[in-house]
Structure 1
Amino acid sequence: MAPSGPGIRLLPNAITVLAMCAGLSAVHFAIIGMYGAAIGSIAAAAVFDGLDGRIARLLDATSKMGAELDSLADAISFGVAPALVIYVWKFDSSREGWVVALIFAVCMVLRLARFNTLLEVEQPPFAKEFFVGVPAPAGGLLLLLPLIVDEQLDRSGWWSGKIVVAVWTVGIALLLVSRIPTLSVKTIKVPPRFAAPLLVLVGLLAAAVITFPLVALIAAMLVYLGHLPYSVRRYRWLAKHPEAWSVAGKDRRAIRRAHGVAARRLGLRQPLGGRVAGAAMRAVRRPRRAVGTTHVAAEADGAARPGKRRGWRQIGLRRHDRP
């Protein structure tokens, strides 16, 4: 018997509530000093956040209530909860630390508000491949990176100093509200021939996460930060090439190669003058020999004989007559 409509709509919302509970549980674990569990709770909230929207679209159970609930859960799980975890870990009973935590939480809420607003604004077709600024789950996990490193190494260092953590928190907050385009994994398509190797890679990643969870999180966060220059470059290239907006990745690579060939033909090769100048310098640096009348006549005719010094015509320059 097929499930009823209300029951189907309940499932994505239930996953969203689980994400919110996981985020709030991170605060509880931080208060009692279980920072590893707090990190795991934020990571679990990120996994739930990635599932609820996809399940809602697969079941055709999207709703206005679900969208609002998802934004509220993201604000709590990736804005309020990570800020409080960092505050309890490093800035407990510190007024300056509380201000830093507030900055991050406010920037997260502003980022989510802007995201909801952009959903109603018409944008170029390629814009759906990017987020504007760092998304909420990535921002929440990036904030915890100093704590993750501290837990993995089981000791404190320069990365866990109050000033370093404060600057890091403000920097991640600015990335949240920035206009930097970041890649969206929702639109990435894999060719069929790469499906099997990709599944093997996913299995290896899952094994790494289970065996070395903190190391895997650190590596994932560093890779994410490293992809930002590539994402900006890709966004700018697509903005300048409308012919690549609605084609597959293979065709985009062909367009990029074609533009690269055209650019080289337009003069991005090594200029001829550089080669001529280099040949002239080599000719000038050669030791001078005794020049006779026969040698001068040969240079004037442009025909260099074996063993003789090369004339100006042989190295690509004209000889101007003096007035």
Structure 2
Amino acid sequence: MQERSTNEFDTQPEGGAPSPRGRGVYWLPNLLTTGTMFAGFYAIVAAIDGNFARAGIAVFVAMVFDGLDGRVARWTNTQSDFGKEYDSLSDMVAFGLAPAIVVYQWGVERIAEYGQLWGRFGWLAAFFYAVAAGLRLARFNARAAVADKRYFEGLPSPSAAATVAGFVWLVSKFDVAGLPGLVLAFAITALIGALMVSKFSYWSGKELNVRGRIPWMYAAVIPLIYVVVSLSPESLFVLFGAYALSGPLIWFMRKLRRKQRAAESG
């Protein structure tokens, strides 16, 4: 009986080593995960350089890579524990640290004239977001086996990152200045962090089978979203902001239904 390798970088299945041609397929999902980390790192560097438009774009590019690596692993049957851990660490860089640094750097450039107190608020908001992202990812990993696949518990970190980075991208493009803009940015950052560690349910979309039949509504809505985004990239902030608010909305609707059922049964 063949003994399984204990190499920490072993991503091969238990059935033995693949052919030289197939070996690259096993590393393809991890290469896409590396793309996620690279895009997150680039967003940090761009923010430090003061190029917040590029930083925002990089976060959205990271989302594309993050959406592909898991699907490629499933399509090629190359899932591995190493890949899952690497994906989680890359997500922390791209969707935890990068958005926090992007929004902090954006605020630092504008906070000096308002005093150090506002700078501390911005620092705390950015740090709280980063911690919340780490907790959200850890909770997802710990409960992945028992969670309801139809819904996420708490706002997913990629959507949280898109909301924060999208806001910075939006206000930097239109040169929004002044204390109200800073307060709004830090408030959104803290709120998104709180939604990540909340118990609100967010639709995952995982019940949609891309290999099977897709409901006509989704077939019509998805191309429309692409058209809107291509015409106005800033609409990404609106889309992901609406998704972030959908969690509290789902909670409120469920609570309302429970009250109605209790009233009907009573």
TM-score, normalising length: structure 1: 0.65
Alignment correspondent of 2:246: 227
Aligned residues between the structures: 238
User: Are residues 1:32 and 2:49 paired?
Assistant: yes
The residue identity in structure 1 corresponding to 2:238 is A
The residue identity in structure 2 corresponding to 1:155 is V
Cα offset, 1:235, TM superposition = 6.7
Identify which of 154, 161, 167 aligns with 1:133.
154
Q: Indicate conservation of the 8 Å contact 1:146/1:159, yes or no.
A: no
Cα offset, 1:222, TM superposition = 3.1
Cα offset, 1:221, TM superposition = 2.2
Cα offset, 1:119, TM superposition = 2.0
Structure 1 vs Structure 2 CA RMSD: 3.1
The residue identity in structure 2 corresponding to 1:18 is G
Q: Where do 1:116-195 residues align within 5 Å? A: 116-120=141-145, 122-123=146-147, 127-156=148-177, 160-161=181-182, 163-188=183-208, 192=213, 194-195=215-216
Cα offset, 1:157, TM superposition = 5.6
User: Are residues 1:105 and 2:130 paired?
Assistant: yes
Cα offset, 1:153, TM superposition = 3.1
From the superposition, tell whether residues 64 and 212 of structure 1 become closer, same or farther in structure 2 (CA, over 3 Å).
same
Q: Deviations over 1:76-118 (max 9, x none)?
A: 0011011111111103584443333222111111111111111
Q: Deviations over 1:179-200 (max 9, x none)?
A: 11111122235994734x6445
Q: Deviations over 1:238-282 (max 9, x none)?
A: 9x9xxxxxxxxxxxxxxxxxx98x986x57xxxxxxxxxxxxxxx
The residue identity in structure 2 corresponding to 1:85 is V
In structure 1, C-alpha distance between the alignment counterparts of 2:253 and 2:121, rounded to whole Å: 38
Alignment correspondent of 1:12: 29
Q: Which runs of 5+ in 2 are unaligned?
A: 1-18, 113-118
Q: Which runs of 5+ in 1 are unaligned?
A: 241-258, 268-323
Q: Deviations over 1:273-317 (max 9, x none)?
A: xxxxxxxxxxxxxxxxxxxxxxxxxxxxxxxxxxxxxxxxxxxxx
Larger Rg: 1
Q: Deviations over 1:130-166 (max 9, x none)?
A: 11111110111222343133135333366522x3322
Alignment correspondent of 2:231: 211
